[in-house]
Amino acid sequence: VRVIDLSRLLPGPMASWYLRGMGAEIIKVEDPKIGDYLRFSPPFRADGSSAWFAMLNAGKRSLALDLKEPEAQQRLRQILMDADVLIESFRPGVLARLGLDPKALRVSHPHLVIASISGFGQVGERAADPGHDLGYCGLAGSLSLNARHDGVPDLPALPLADMAGGALTTAMTVCAALFARERTGQGRWLD
């Protein structure tokens, strides 16, 4: 199984890390100007690199493409011909603005499983809202589980929503979609 991972920060890279652990080949595609923002997230190792980035990207192949450029978009379309899964974590509509609309990719690459990870989904009244782990925990009420004696919640030590709600759920639904593809021959777009 070949996975093309366009995602940044934690949920997408962790989802592809889970898939790599199950034997998938991962090709991480980063913007050549800044790369994945997780590169700048603590904790840092002795050499100054991010421990999160190093852990979640160990064993992955890497490719730099500026997806704002038509040549890079075409290169990605070619790469996707031999891929099974595309993971992305842009805000809703960004992939389409980059000339890589998931609906169009489903037509040109019907075998492809596309996993879009966003805060509140591709459609709906909150689709355009930014989403972050702390906000999800607050919305779910899980911050109250960490309340101190004075009722003020402590910040969680781990980004639980990103890890469980984003990463693990994405990895599981990708596996289910690949299983369904074995039966139908068709990929799908997971939101």
Residues recognised as catalytic: 162
- List Cα–Cα distances, 59 to 20, 44, 131, 162, 176, in angstroms: 8, 19, 28, 22, 23
Q: Which two tokens stand for residue 34?
A: 């800044």
* Max Cα-Cα span within the chain: 57
Length of the chain in terms of residues written: 191
Q: Is 88 exposed, middle or buried (0-12, 13-18, 19+ CB in 10 A)?
A: buried
- Residues 83 and 115: beta-carbon distance below 8 Å: no
Kindly state the DSSP code that residue 59 receives in the 8-state scheme: T
Which structure tokens are listed for 5?
Answer: 């991972």
Strands (E), 18-84: 25-30, 61-64
153: left (phi over 0), alpha (psi -120 to 50) or beta: beta
DSSP label of 5: E
